[in-house]
Amino acid sequence: GLAFAADADDAKWIAQCVKDNKDAGKPPEVVEKYCVCMNEKMDSNETQSISQWEKAHPKEEKECDAQAGWK
């Protein structure tokens, strides 16, 4: 699960990201890895969801795609 998330706020964002990507046709562990990666790249004061933030940060999105094995 999300035990490695830094705090409850991170866990909430990661859970939302996983939910946002559940229809992407990827294994849940890949989606979760991607969401955790993106969450780690975001500033802790960020107010956008991961799904909103990724649209403005294609470099980070590519790095997390690669790290998670999202193909």
CB atoms within 10 A of CB 61: 19
Let me know: does 64 contact 51? Beta carbons within 8 Å: no
Tens digit of pLDDT at every position of the chain (71 positions): 444 545 788 899 999 999 999 999 999 999 999 999 999 999 888 889 999 999 999 999 999 999 999 98
Residue 67 has which token pair? Answer: 């790290």
For residue 5, the one-letter residue type is A
> Any residues with CB less than 8 A from the CB of 25 and at least 6 apart, and which?
none
